[in-house]
Amino acid sequence: MPRHTDTRSRILELAHSLLQAHGFHGFSYRHLADALGIKTAAVHYHFRNKADLGVELVIELRRKFQCWATDIDNRTLKAMERLDGFCEMHRMILDHGGSSPFGLLDVLVDQLPERMSREVLVLAGEIHGWLARTLRQGLASGELSFHGEPDDQALIVGAAILGALLMARALGADKYRSAIAQLKKQLTPGK
């Protein structure tokens, strides 16, 4: 594999970690270069500016989410199993000391470079669409119960999961598990 591709991958991997730990504005090209033992010019070679890096980070997050969603969709799981998978993905992020990149990016979407902001909004739409389809499936099968439209409920479910992640960072991972258990009760018929 060419060395420049390896360096590019290493930059993206580290930038992703720094994004989770400090947010997009919490690191610089100097941080990346120093941590990787390269010159800042090498970072600029792969990503002309930080906006380009940010766009690529979000595109990579979109790819990962699309692969995950396709895998879940191909398993023909029940709606609650699909939601369990989505919650588990976020629990794993929490267990590894990170926070959801989806949440980190959405919170500051108006403070991000415009091109990156557009990609974040596409990612948010993809996540919302997947949640809405899952909720619609569960409502149609009788597995899930809630008032209102699946699109509106998807906003509530997404906000609850991201909010639970934020609370867990302050109050402990067990709070995430408790919040998710409560959310599932609220979506289960007769509970």
What pLDDT does residue 1 have? 44
Question: How far is residue 13's CA from residue 186's CA, in Å, rounded to a whole number?
Answer: 37
What pLDDT does residue 103 have? 64
- Amino acid identity of residue 172, one-letter, is G
What pLDDT does residue 168 have? 87
Q: How far, CA to CA in Å, does 84 sit from each of 65, 163, 186?
A: 15, 16, 14
Residue 96 phi, psi (nearest 5): -95, 15
| Share of residues in the chain with pLDDT > 90 (%) | 69
> Hey, what's the torsion of the CAs at 71, 80, 95, 112, to 10 degrees?
70
The pLDDT of residue 66 is above 60: yes
Question: How far is residue 37's CA from residue 176's CA, in Å, rounded to a whole number?
Answer: 37
Average pLDDT over residues 22-28: 89
Full set of structural domains in the chain with CATH: 1-48 (1.10.10.60), 51-187 (1.10.357.10)
| Share of residues in the chain with pLDDT > 70 (%) | 91
**By the 8 A CB rule, do 164 and 176 touch?**
yes
**pLDDT tens column, 114-123:** 999 999 999 9
Across 52-61, 83-92, 102-111, 180-189, least confident range: 102-111
